[in-house]
Structure 1
Amino acid sequence: MTPELESFPSDSADLADGARLYRDVFNEPPWNDEWTLETARTRLSQLVETPGHRGYAASIDGDLAGLVIGTQEEWDTESKYYVRELCVDSTHQRRGIATALMDRLAADLRRAGVESIYLLTLRDAPARTFYEERGFDLEDGTALLSRRIESSDST
């Protein structure tokens, strides 16, 4: 079944549906996160309120089945798009929905003059294979660094 693709969000109800999808997908393996509807809605709201936001939703028979969301950013020599989130309902995975979303995104970005797409994913997650099969490469010379903010940190 071919998904119907449209901009995300197209109305305020989309954020509620998107939050449910996001929570359900990322609370399952391999992510095993602890999203609530409230925190998922806040996350998606922050992303759609970011300048340069662009997102798409995939629906099957009127039900939200997947979404991709991120931001277009200007860099020193080119315009890039940062995929912040891509998720597909577990009952619809491996049916081409994520591929359809990424293809639509890439086509629209190409028309907008964006030269490249980048993203972060877990090194050992199945998502990495999905992206690599679609032409994404692990970047040499880059590292994701993070630091916990401890209660002893003060200004």
Structure 2
Amino acid sequence: MLKRIEAFGLQAGRTSDEVRSHSARYNTEYFPITIKEHLELLDKTGFAACELFWHSYMQSGFYAIKGRKMSNTNIQPIQAAHLERYAEIYAKAFSGEPWNDPWRVKDAAIHISEIMESRHSYGLEYVVNGEVAGFILGASMLFHYGRTFEINDLAVHPDYQRQGIASKLLERFLEDVKQQGIVGVHLITAAEGVLPPFYEKFGFKREQRVMLMGMETE
């Protein structure tokens, strides 16, 4: 196999020295690193956004933006006064990929307000230069084994996506609910695409014992 790789390298225009140097790396672990460690490394070296873009058996792709890092000081409790902005964000975010749902702003406002009105709801917003850029919202429910939290909405306005805001919101949110004594957190998301790996890097796992079922009434 190694000889075939070397022959291919020569055919591709590499010099003999380059081929020998490349072959010398075979079967050697230079820098074994997990996905979580890779993301932490990108974060520590000053990338404003660092997310897992795709993952296969032997390779991973990362999306990272070098620039000013956003601080958790931009995160604050959700506010009823910002309902219309949340609705605008929700409608625009969920009308795009991967959902492509035809949300109207007025319907999104009703959807969000119904969750906010729950006595057990909790949420955070992310503010950039005085403007709400994204939010996370849900509510808790008591079970025999303790109180669990369902994340209903995590949305970032398209103008602010790919800047690490969703990650910052989710990270802070999980810290907060743990302090509130929540024993578990769950959510519903797309079965394929970039969203499952996004949540998995925060510790979420696909449920094996339960499944989502539904029916149409019209």
Count of equivalent residues: 148
State how 1:128-139 maps to structure 2 within 5 Å: 128-139=196-207
Matched residue SS, 1:56: strand
Structure 1 residue 5 corresponds to structure 2 residue 80: no
Contact 2:98/2:190 (8 A) holds in 1: no
- RMSD between superposed Cα atoms in Å: 1.3
- The alpha carbon displacement at 1:93 in A equals 2.1
Partner of 1:93: 161
- The alpha carbon displacement at 1:136 in A equals 0.4
State how 1:4-153 maps to structure 2 within 5 Å: 4-9=74-79, 11-12=80-81, 14-150=82-218
Where structure 1 has 5 or more consecutive residues not aligned to the other structure, the ranges are: 151-155
| Paired letter, 2:102 | E
Contact 2:85/2:132 (8 A) holds in 1: yes
- The alpha carbon displacement at 1:64 in A equals 1.3
- The alpha carbon displacement at 1:110 in A equals 1.4
- The alpha carbon displacement at 1:78 in A equals 1.5
Provide the rounded CA distance (Å) in 2 between the counterparts of 1:97 and 1:143.
Answer: 29
- The alpha carbon displacement at 1:106 in A equals 1.2
| Paired letter, 1:20 | E
Where structure 2 has 5 or more consecutive residues not aligned to the other structure, the ranges are: 1-68
Partner of 1:153: none
List per-residue Cα deviations over 1:57-80 (Å, max 9, x = no partner).
001111111110000111111211
Higher helix share: 2
The share of aligned pairs that are identical, in percent, is 26
Bigger RCO (CA 8 Å, 6+ sep): 1
Spell out structure 1 runs of 4+ moving beyond 6 A. none
Max Rg structure: 2
| TM-score, normalised with respect to structure 2 | 0.65
Provide the rounded CA distance (Å) in 2 between the counterparts of 1:112 and 1:90.
Answer: 31
Provide the rounded CA distance (Å) in 2 between the counterparts of 1:141 and 1:58.
Answer: 34
- The alpha carbon displacement at 1:122 in A equals 1.2
